[in-house]
Amino acid sequence: MEQALMVLGSAIGAGIAVCSGIGSGIGQGYAAGKGAEAVGNQPEAKGDIISTMLLGAAVAESTGIYGLVISIILLFANPWV
């Protein structure tokens, strides 16, 4: 029974943790839309716009990755189960 409760908690916790990526998804999609709009207005600045957008999105990605890391740890490097 102990083992079962630990696993139940870890599995649900892993599911919640990876949902920290919801914010990243919304934010990066906003960045993508703004980037496409900007490229449409200044196609000659495409390189600069894309590199800026990707740099910003890469930073926003970080919290999504944190959630993934915690999920993976809960699943495979779980210090208890």
Q: Output the six-digit token pair for 48.
A: 């600069």
State the Cα–Cα distance between residues 66 and 59, nearest whole angstrom: 12
State the Cα–Cα distance between residues 71 and 21, nearest whole angstrom: 12
Please state the closest distance from residue 68 (CB atom) to its own copies, in A: 4
Angle, helices 46-76 vs 21-41, to 10°: value is 170
Q: Amino acid identity of 39?
A: V
Please state the closest distance from residue 55 (CB atom) to its own copies, in A: 6
If binding means CB under 8 A, how many residues of this protein chain bind its own copies?
77
List binders of its own copies among 14-43 (CB under 8 A).
14-43
Please state the closest distance from residue 77 (CB atom) to its own copies, in A: 8
List binders of its own copies among 47-76 (CB under 8 A).
48-50, 52-76
